[in-house]
Structure 1
Amino acid sequence: MSNTRSTSDSQDSSQSSRKPQTSRKSQPSHSSQESRRPKPMEVLREARAQLAELTGMTAESVSSFEQTEEGWALEVEVLELERVPDTMSLMASYQVELDDEGQLTGYRRVRRYERGRADSRGGR
Structure 2
Amino acid sequence: MATARRDGSGDRESPAERRRRNLPRQTGSKTAAAKSSPERDQKPKRAHQEPDSDDEKGRARARHSLKAAQVARLAVRQVHELTGREPEGVTSLERSETGWVVGVEVVESRRVPDSADILAVYEAELDADGDLVSYHRVDRYARGRGNER
TM-score, length-scaled by structure 2: 0.57
TM-superposed CA distance for 1:118, in Å, is 3.7
Separation in structure 1 between the aligned mates of residue 96 and residue 148 of structure 2, nearest angstrom: 27
SS of 1:117 mapped into structure 2: helix
After TM superposition, which residue ranges in structure 1, 4 or more long, deviate above 2 angstroms? none
Separation in structure 1 between the aligned mates of residue 86 and residue 77 of structure 2, nearest angstrom: 8
Q: Does 1:61 align with 2:103?
A: no
Name 1:119's counterpart in structure 2.
Answer: 147
Q: Which of 48, 68, 86 is matched with 2:114 structurally? A: 86
- Name stretches of at least 5 consecutive residues in structure 1 with no aligned partner: 1-24
**Mapping 1:9-28, distance limit 5 Å:** none
Name 1:71's counterpart in structure 2.
Answer: 99
Q: Among all aligned residue pairs of Structure 1 and Structure 2, give the percentage whose two residues are the same amino acid.
A: 43
Separation in structure 1 between the aligned mates of residue 106 and residue 81 of structure 2, nearest angstrom: 12
Q: Deviations over 1:58-98 (max 9, x none)?
A: 21111110111010001111101000000001000111100
Q: Which of 124, 132, 135 is matched with 1:107 structurally? A: 135
Task: Name the structure with the higher helix share.
Answer: 1
Q: Which has the larger radius of gyration?
A: 2
Separation in structure 1 between the aligned mates of residue 94 and residue 137 of structure 2, nearest angstrom: 18
TM-score, length-scaled by structure 1: 0.67
- RCO higher in 1 or 2 (8 Å CA, sep ≥ 6)? 1
TM-superposed CA distance for 1:51, in Å, is 0.8
Provide the aligned C-alpha RMSD in A.
2.4
Q: Deviations over 1:91-124 (max 9, x none)?
A: 0011110011111111111111000114135xxx
**Mapping 1:15-54, distance limit 5 Å:** 36-54=64-82
Separation in structure 2 between the aligned mates of residue 43 and residue 118 of structure 1, nearest angstrom: 25
SS of 1:65 mapped into structure 2: strand
Aligned length: 94
- Name stretches of at least 5 consecutive residues in structure 2 with no aligned partner: 1-43, 49-59
Instruction: Write the letter of the residue equivalent to 2:101.
Output: A
